[in-house]
Structure 1
Amino acid sequence: MVKRDPEQEKEVLEWISAVLGEKLPNQPYDDLLKNGILLCHLINKIVPGSVKKINEKGGQFQMMENVQRFQQAIKKYGLPEEEIFQTVDLTEKRNIAQVTLCLYALGRLTQKHPEYNGPTLGPKMAEENARNFSEEEIKRLRDTQIGLQAGFAGGASQSGHGGFGNTRHM
């Protein structure tokens, strides 16, 4: 299990608050997320209509349904299965750090969706930097350079080393 990072949790809450455009209640991180209501509102703000029904009140089962609906919505949005936390990680507070990592992955994924123009979370995604060389450029470079793959290492060798066990002459 990964150790919780209060700084990351603070960043996640700030991001959620910025996406929703509202100040979050002053509660512990895991308590704010536990019932899934905030998460459902978050994904609905990112992709309107992702979660059709949000249980605003009810027992633990209804709250678990919220979390599961959020998970289904982010999976549909494109988040890989391995980055999505298990329901019990949040509802039973078994692995809150995994929940944080999942939300970071979601915040990062929003950068790949041009239809979303809100705040993002985490490092900026790398953009493709395709290089297109003409056939003559490739041929010219192959003809003028000898790669290390060919076995040339600038003249270094073990010639003159002698055999195993020989003394070194000074």
Structure 2
Amino acid sequence: RVWGQITGKTFGSSNFRSALENGVLLCDLINKLKPGIIRRVNRLSTPMAGLDNVNVFLRACGKLGLNHSQLFHPGDLQDISNRVTVRCEETTRRLKNVLITIYWLGRKAQADSAYDGPQLNFKAFEGLLGVALSKVVFRSADVRKLL
């Protein structure tokens, strides 16, 4: 909910990972938190454009003061579901990394006295992120409740 309140946009997908993999929503989010921090968002629907957007988003997070340990890896948003050797735990770990970055970005925004927008539900995030990886199941509907 908060995501839509901040960006004015919806996920457009029932899958959390696929909604974010092109990086457009991430770039739109951070530009709402700090207008102009990302000057150009690549809206082409190619994997390279998506990777470019995700990297630009992560650099912008660094400019806002997030450190390397608070950032997910660009590959965490890649679709690995069709790989034979990937276990569910790996997909869960990758999505958890993305949520951790969103959590810290939300914390940073709320600490900024210039930000007066919607607030993340930190208790819900902390509860979700504190659960053992093997028991965490990320569904878009669950994530939307947090955002």
Length-normalised TM-score, structure 2: 0.69
- C-alpha distance in 1, partners of 2:16/2:44? 19
Name the aligned partner's letter for residue 102 of structure 1. T
Aligned residues: 111
Match of 1:121 in 2: 120
| Greater RCO (Cα-Cα under 8 Å, separation 6 or more) | 2
Percent of pairs with identical residues: 32
Deviation at residue 100 of structure 1 after TM alignment: 0.8
Structure 1: 5+ residue stretches without partners? 1-13, 125-170
SS of aligned partner of 1:40: helix
SS of aligned partner of 1:68: helix
Structure 2: 5+ residue stretches without partners? 81-90, 124-147
Match of 1:130 in 2: none
Match of 1:165 in 2: none
Name the aligned partner's letter for residue 97 of structure 2. Q
- C-alpha distance in 2, partners of 1:102/1:34? 14
Larger gyration radius, structure 1 or structure 2: 1
Q: 1:26 to 1:62 in 2, by over 3 A?
A: closer
Task: Please identify runs of 4+ aligned residues in structure 1 that moved more than 6 A.
Answer: none
Name the aligned partner's letter for residue 62 of structure 1. A
Length-normalised TM-score, structure 1: 0.60
Q: Cα RMSD (Å) of the superposition?
A: 1.7
Name the aligned partner's letter for residue 39 of structure 2. K
Contact 1:108-1:122 within 8 A present in 2 as well:
no
User: Is the aligned partner of 1:108 residue 2:142?
Assistant: no
- C-alpha distance in 2, partners of 1:29/1:89? 12
* Structure 1 residue corresponding to 2:21, chosen from 34, 56, 66: 34
